[in-house]
Amino acid sequence: MNIKLLPIAFALALWACTKTPEPTTPPKPKTSDAASPAATQRVAEKSDAAHEAGIAWRKGDVDAAFIQARADNKPVFLYWGAVWCPPCNQVKATIFNRQDFIERSRLFVPVYIDGDSPSAQKLGARFKVSGYPTMILFKPDGSEITRLPGEADVEQYMRVLQMGMNGVRPVKDTLSAALDKSGNAAARLSAEDWRMLAYYSWDTDEQQIVAKDKVPSTLANLARSCPADQHDTAARLELKALAAAAGAKGAKARDDKAAEDRVMQVLGDPKFARENFDVIVYSVGEIAGYITLPKSAERARLAATWNSALDLLIADRSLSTADRLAALGAKIELARLDTPKAAPLPSALQNTVRDEVTRADRETTDPYARQSVISAAADVLSQAGLMDESDGLLNAELTRSHSPYYFMLGLAGNAKKRGDKAVALDWEEKAYTAADGPATRLQWGVHYVNALVDLAPQDAARIEKAAQSVIGELDANPDTFYARNGRSLERMGKKL
């Protein structure tokens, strides 16, 4: 195939997937599902042991699970993930293995959709899920109650799960009531209703309850409308609003003293910081860089307070190892806010990184926890400029990991940062070759092709060979072209 014709091939493939639009709500449950081809079944089987013990996961026949839920009058808990995905493995290692979650799972119908299983991408489009992991709680009739935040503090996650199971009001209805301009509907909301909004997984909403560009203003309105006696809930909503606004297109740094004072106040409360670990750690650069001006005294003061809160989190052994490493990564992000990316970090911080990574590597023995921990550790080393040590950690994990192809992409990324294009592309190719499962191979193949176009645009023969390999593996089944698969092919077509 001439490389100039490849975009046309992808356009045709994408056209095939749009002939039958997905309904916006799940259709009436059917009594059967497609049989599972052996090539994709083995991928799902690899992940069973990770979170099988004690939980009666339903796989494959999703519609039958909803029929069972309706018959038993139980909610449905849907988990969408992938074998290789570090956050998914983190959820397995910190939530699904908890005894209280296992016991609670007997009160709902647990459904597991592996992204590489048959028709998984079509199911992803049906349930409006994209990123791994996504967790959704449904009523027995199939209507969505809420989306659960996998990155949140585990205790808060369990609390929100219980609230969702206890209540019958979908979070979409709760949001409408909270934003009711008359105030009458909002006045009838309980403290738990407001908390459900604060802990809703806005990052995986997929525009189910609010348009993407309206998320920052919606969260800000919720923070202002939250009753005064629910200070912690209002504070979390404001933090989420600031993070969303900072990540919006065109966001620029500003001198927002009011927001800075409120953030300083919540950072000074160790209990609040611990409960809101996800925002404090994963949105540090966005918020700090948004509400203060570069190299200002206000930014320095905010960074000092934020660092103190992060130090407590790094030392908190009740947090998972991956979470503590993420807190360490947040410290690096703060340190780099006003410095060139290539500038070396203070030696004390680099030594802390080395010590924490060594401890994490030594103490983490569970293979599923390691998928998350080693990913976080390698990222922290790379952030700290310790590229050779990051490479060493990733290389050592290739023989231990159940999904080594994920870490090969880390090695490719490190090589790219060094400017070593040839090594980066070699690792990209190795990762694609080793990738397992149809959706995963497609995603890795597209990643490889796009890397070739970016790093070796003159090598038309290699680009064409890689692109033809990706096309050649595509299943002619229309279910192939939904969700993540369709988006991957679209990106590759545009790149070519």
pLDDT at 18: 46
Q: Which pLDDT band holds residue 3 (cuts at 50, 70, 90)? A: low
pLDDT at 40: 36
- Closest C-alpha among 280, 282, 291, 199 to residue 242: 291
Is residue 337 a contact partner of residue 285, using CB atoms and an 8 Å limit? Answer: yes
Q: How far is CA 294 from CA 49, 281, 408, in A?
A: 48, 20, 36
More confident residue, 54 or 375: 375
pTM, whole model, 2 decimals?
0.88
Give percent of the chain above pLDDT 70: 89
Q: Which pLDDT band holds residue 478 (cuts at 50, 70, 90)? A: confident
More confident residue, 18 or 96: 96
Could you give phi then psi for residue 76, rounded to 5 degrees? -110, 130
Is residue 223 a contact partner of residue 237, using CB atoms and an 8 Å limit? Answer: yes
Residue 260 has pLDDT above 70, yes or no: yes
More confident residue, 10 or 147: 147
Is residue 339 a contact partner of residue 386, using CB atoms and an 8 Å limit? Answer: no
Could you give phi then psi for residue 88, rounded to 5 degrees? -65, -45
pLDDT at 60: 73
Average pLDDT over residues 99-106: 96
Please give the radius of gyration of the chain, using alpha carbons only, rounded to the nearest integer.
23
Q: What count of residues does the chain have?
A: 496
pLDDT at 145: 96
Residue 52 has pLDDT above 90, yes or no: no
The residue behind tokens 């597991």 is 112
- Closest C-alpha among 420, 379, 375, 419 to residue 401: 375
Could you give phi then psi for residue 430, rounded to 5 degrees? -60, -40
Poorest-pLDDT segment among 20-34, 139-153, 426-440: 20-34
pLDDT at 26: 36
pLDDT at 211: 96
Is residue 283 a contact partner of residue 332, using CB atoms and an 8 Å limit? Answer: no
State in words which class domain 33-168 has: alpha beta
Average pLDDT over residues 296-301: 98
Residue 5 has pLDDT above 50, yes or no: no
Residue 149 has pLDDT above 90, yes or no: yes
Give percent of the chain above pLDDT 90: 80
Average pLDDT over residues 482-494: 90
Domain boundaries, the chain: 1-30+403-496, 33-168, 169-248, 252-390
Structure tokens at 230: 């629910």
Average pLDDT of the residues of the chain: 90
Q: pLDDT of 155-199, one tens digit each?
A: 999 999 999 999 768 999 999 999 998 888 888 999 999 999 999
Average pLDDT over residues 103-111: 97
Residue 331 has pLDDT above 90, yes or no: yes
Structure tokens at 243: 């993070």
pLDDT at 58: 95
Residue 43 has pLDDT above 60, yes or no: no
| Distance in angstroms (rounded) separating the CA atoms of residues 302 and 263 | 8
Is residue 302 a contact partner of residue 258, using CB atoms and an 8 Å limit? Answer: no
Residue 218 has pLDDT above 80, yes or no: yes
Q: Which pLDDT band holds residue 61 (cuts at 50, 70, 90)? A: confident
Average pLDDT over residues 248-267: 96
Ranked by mean pLDDT, the top range of 40-54, 164-178, 422-436, 476-490 is 422-436
Q: Which pLDDT band holds residue 7 (cuts at 50, 70, 90)? A: low
Q: pLDDT of 262-294, one tens digit each?
A: 999 999 999 999 999 999 999 999 999 999 999
Residue 299 has pLDDT above 50, yes or no: yes
pLDDT at 335: 96
Secondary structure (H, E, C), the chain:
CCHHHHHHHHHHHHHHHCCCCCCCCCCCCCCCCCCCCHHHHHHHHHHHHHHCCCCCCECCCHHHHHHHHHHHCCCEEEEEECCCCHHHHHHHHHHHCCHHHHHHHHHCEEEEEECCCCCHHHHHHHCCCCCCCEEEEECCCCCEEEEECCCCCHHHHHHHHHHHHHCCCCHHHHHHHHCCCCCHHHHCCCHHHHHHHHCCCHHHCCCCCCCHHHHHHHHHHHHHHCCCCCHHHHHHHHHHHHHHHHCCCCCCCCCCHHHHHHHHHHHCCHHHHHHCHHHHHHCHHHHHHHHCCCCCHHHHHHHHHHHHHHHHHHCCCCCCHHHHHHHHHHHHHHHCCCCCCCCCCCHHHHHHHHHHHHHHHHHCCCHHHHHHHHHHHHHHHHHCCCHHHHHHHHHHHCCCCCCHHHHHHHHHHHHHHHCCHHHHHHHHHHHHHHCCCHHHHHHHHHHHHHHHHHHCCCCHHHHHHHHHHHHHHCCCCHHHHCHHHHHHHHHHHHHC
Residue 31 has pLDDT above 60, yes or no: no
Could you give phi then psi for residue 79, rounded to 5 degrees? -115, 125
pLDDT at 12: 40
Structure tokens at 411: 């090695």
Could you give phi then psi for residue 78, rounded to 5 degrees? -105, 125
